[in-house]
Chain A
Amino acid sequence: MAFVLRTVSHSAEGREIVRSARVEGDRLTIGRTPESDIQLSDLAVALTHAVITRDGDRLSVAVEPGLSLQLDGRKSDGGTIQAASGGDIQIASHIVRILPTAAGASEIALSIERVLEGEATLSRSADRLFSLGSVLPGRRPVSWILVIALLAIFLAWPLLGSRSADPHEGLRADASWSSGKLSRAHAALEKDCTACHAKPFEAVRDTACVACHTQVHDHADPFRLARAQPGLSTWGRLKLAVKERLNLPAGRCVECHTEHEGPQTMPATAQRFCADCHGGLNDRLPDTRLADAGDFENAHPEFQPLFVGGWQGPRPMMRRASLAARPFEDNGLKFPHDLHLAPVGGVAQMARRLAPAHGFGRQLACKDCHVPVADGTRFQPVDMERNCAMCHSLAFDNAGGTVRTLRHGEPAQVVADLRDFYRIRSPARPPSLAPFARRRPGEGEAVEARREFSAGASQSGAQAAIRAVFSKGGACFDCHRIDAPAGGSLAFRVRPVAFPSRYMHHGWFDHRDHETQDCTSCHAAGTSDSASDLLLPGIATCRTCHGGETTAKPVASSCAMCHDYHMDQGAPSRPGRDRRDQAPEPMAALRREAR
């Protein structure tokens, strides 16, 4: 009985080297010790790992306790192999193969071969091992992934999504393209890019703006506007040429109304946008009626208010004139402001007497007659009954506690009322003329005499009273210009009164912004003895506080403070105005502090 061992190994070139050995007996030890019949130098093999014992045609494999091997590919801690069919025993990296042996043969052949590399070889090149490439993904694939991801998210998706997406959905494909939040006024369009950017690769056109802003006025006739522009420098012409080449027409709304600048109100237009053209407008547009204006402090014409310059019959004729010419207003009224504002005298006396009922002070003040409109911008038209009648009473009768007044604004009615009054309150008549005295037949003369008396008495009183009312010292004459009728007629006519609702239509003035000032610091009412004085302050008065856009004066004032490019008659757009309206309380507090 013997085992024939064939140990197979491979040279560096791959050549097979076979060494044979013979072990007599029916017991074969496998282990790492040199004393083993089959010595396996793998450190995973125990010093004595297994023992193969032959018993006839059967080989039993016994493994040291706690160790294992693979028997025919299955992990096992011992078993048997039929010599006739042979079998594999794998221990760590070695296979001990028992070759099939005919029954009863005296020798059993085994081949021993190392199948697994017991030690990992550092096969890759040293440079590769040391370089970062061995632990990081390559730069090229990472670059590709980044490029594809970025182009997909930030280019392809917005391009595909921009046209089809619902503007109100949550996450817009093209949201990443927005360079900044829209102004507050346009906040609702934040997700609706195509509302303004209507056509791809075409700059925003005015058509997109006027789709919503249907009421916006043009500044002027476009041709006049073009002619008014200052001569373009070479650089300006170059810029214009490039813009035209790039399909960017000049003068679009967005040139001033820049967007995506953050959630703000539109900032005031810089002065030079106006001054560029208006500074020398007369040179370029000789037929303009506008005076040149550049800077409020030193290049602005005197104000030219629109006022009642005269009358054509009952129609007031409006006239514009510079305040420098000290124009007079023909409003039809007689009203000496100085008399009413005097601290002493009859008016002041009366004001003190009526103070408890009407809230006057020691003397009359502007506010006692002039009532501001709801937003405080300007004043309501003076109303005779409301603002004058507390002193200038039109009462003519007290009928049992009911005061009867003459009808203001209706002279014919005044005449009729006075006539009526005197007809009823005729002088005492003789008893025989008592209206209900019994009459006997033939007393016709007496009735006639009674009628004549009555008519005569009332006519003379009424006529006198009517003439008195419409003549010097009378209630109407005091304030109005009266056209006296010719001869004995009583058809007195009161000249109409007219005031413009606004004196300056192309500039904006807000009285509420000037509440810190006394009225008389601008309006020279205290020294005006005639209603025809145009009490508007001239530009010099404004300039005591207001300077130009850059100024040493307390209030820097660019054109946009008073003027609106789009020429509507409302307040010019101004940052902060809206906010103030929304929060009146803090502003009121501020104003109190300012006082």
Chain B
Amino acid sequence: MSAGRALSGAGTSHEGFLRHRNFRWLKIASLAMLAALAGYALVDVQPRHNGGSWYGYLLGTIGALLIVWLALLGIRKRAMTRGRWSLKAWTSAHVYLGLSLLVIATLHAGFQLGWNVHSLAYVLMLLVIVSGIWGISAYAALPAELSASRASMTRPQMIDAIVKLDRQLHTAAQPLGHEDAAIVASSIGDDPFRGGVIARIANSWPGCVTHRALARIRERQKAAARPDAGADLAALAASAELLERKCAALGRIRRHLRIRTMLEIWLHVHVPLTFALIAALVAHIVSVFFYW
């Protein structure tokens, strides 16, 4: 069962967290948003809506409690349980109630933004929600691609392939002259994972020494084709072929890496920004009442 199908829930008895209990939490969250909007329209706040009116305080309290509860998923997820308050139900509620914060917090602010700690908390909340949306869409789209990219290999197998190719290269390069051997040696032992987040997401590895080594060995092959070169043509050909295979293996690893990174990176935004949001929220609440 792939995660993608877990989301859609189609075709199996399994029900993804998004459509849990026939979208129960989507309905609840929609009701909450509608109620907040209706209140905003009906409650007359002078001179204009803001966080300091009774309605503003009400929405603010709901929003702050929601944020704390949503953050608790980080603890809750470590215990997988079934039943009414199953982890799935909890996650479903997390997603939909988290989205409803968009409405609740915006109405709490009364659409007023500025360069202050209050708007900082609001913007952090938006970033957390957007990263969450990104995460859900990544989980919906990518897992199928992820398993396809592995070509039915496990991750250790993919790494193993590289290690084996390195060994074969080492052996194959033994007859090579010092310069040619150095080219092959540069590829051997090079960390296939060397590169930053950008390289992983873009699947762009311009500094890959194996690709460079392959190109140079090919050049050497051409140069060695001349009869006076005196190089070991067979060893060069063997090295080139091995390097080519290593490039293919690296490509497989890196395609996999790209998808893994896309699947994970949102959480590296979502979680730290959630904590930043809670800190900004604390500063927001304290400041508002300190200077009441």
Q: Enumerate chain A interface residues (CB-CB to B < 8 A).
A: 32-33, 41, 43-44, 46-47, 67, 118-122, 126-127, 129-132, 134-136, 139, 142-144, 146-147, 150-151, 154-155, 158-159, 162, 174-180, 193, 197, 200-204, 239, 242, 258, 261, 267, 270
Contact = CB atoms under 8 A, between A and B. Distances in A.
A130 B282 contact: no
29 contacts: A33-B175, A41-B170, A41-B174, A43-B176, A44-B182, A118-B170, A118-B189, A119-B170, A120-B190, A120-B191, A122-B159, A127-B155, A129-B193, A130-B193, A132-B268, A139-B268, A139-B272, A142-B272, A143-B275, A146-B272, A154-B120, A158-B287, A162-B290, A176-B115, A176-B117, A176-B120, A177-B290, A179-B118, A179-B288
Contact of B112 (A32, A41, A151, A180): A180
Given A118-B189, A147-B278, A136 B174 contact: no
Contact of A151 (B163, B166, B283): B283
Contacts of B120: 150, 154, 176
Interface string B242-286: 000000000000001100110011011001111110111011001
Contacts of B189: 118-120
Given A129-B193, A197-B290, 4 more contacts: A43-B182, A119-B167, A119-B188, A131-B260
Interface residues of B, number: 69
A43 B117 contact: no
Interface string B169-180: 010011111100
A197 B166 contact: no
Interface in B3-59: 46-48, 50-51, 54
Nearest to B290: A200
B291 A193 contact: yes
B193 to A, nearest CB: 5
Interface stretch (B133-141, B195-203, B214-222): B195-203
B101 to A, nearest CB: 19
Interface of B: 46-48, 50-51, 54, 112, 114-118, 120, 154-156, 158-159, 162-163, 166-167, 170, 173-178, 181-182, 184-185, 188-193, 195-197, 200, 256-257, 260-261, 264-265, 267-268, 271-276, 278-280, 282-283, 286-292
Contacts of B195: 135
A136 B271 CA distance: 13
A92 to B, nearest CB: 9
A202 B265 contact: no
Contacts of A143: 271-272, 274-276
Given A131-B260, A179-B116, A204-B292, A136 B268 contact: yes
A202 B292 contact: yes
B200 A135 contact: yes
A127 B257 CA distance: 11
A132 B54 CA distance: 45
Contacts of A139: 267-268, 271-272
Contacts, number: 162
Contact of B177 (A47, A136, A142, A178): A47
A186 to B, nearest CB: 14
Pairs A-B, 8 closest by C-beta atoms = A119-B189, A143-B275, A154-B283, A120-B189, A146-B276, A43-B185, A46-B178, A150-B279
A150 B276 contact: yes
A132 B260 contact: yes
A131 B267 CA distance: 12
A203 B117 contact: no
A120 to B, nearest CB: 4
B200 A119 contact: no
Interface centre among A135, A136, A144, A200 (most CB of B within 10 A): A135
A121 B47 CA distance: 69
A146 B118 contact: no
A315 to B, nearest CB: 47
A144 B283 CA distance: 16
B227 to A, nearest CB: 20
B197 A177 contact: no
A177 B291 CA distance: 8
A423 B226 CA distance: 152
A132 B261 contact: yes
A228 B189 CA distance: 89
Nearest to A146: B276
A136 B265 CA distance: 9
Contact of B279 (A132, A151, A261): A151
A146 B128 CA distance: 14
A135 B201 CA distance: 12
B287 A155 contact: yes
Contact of B181 (A43, A142, A193): A43
B236 to A, nearest CB: 13
Nearest to B284: A154
Contacts of B166: 119
Nearest to A136: B268
Contacts of B178: 46-47, 67
Contact of B156 (A126, A134, A178): A126
Given A67-B178, A143-B271, A158-B287, A134 B193 contact: yes
A201 B289 CA distance: 5
Contacts of A174: 287, 291
Contacts of A270: 46
A177 B188 contact: no
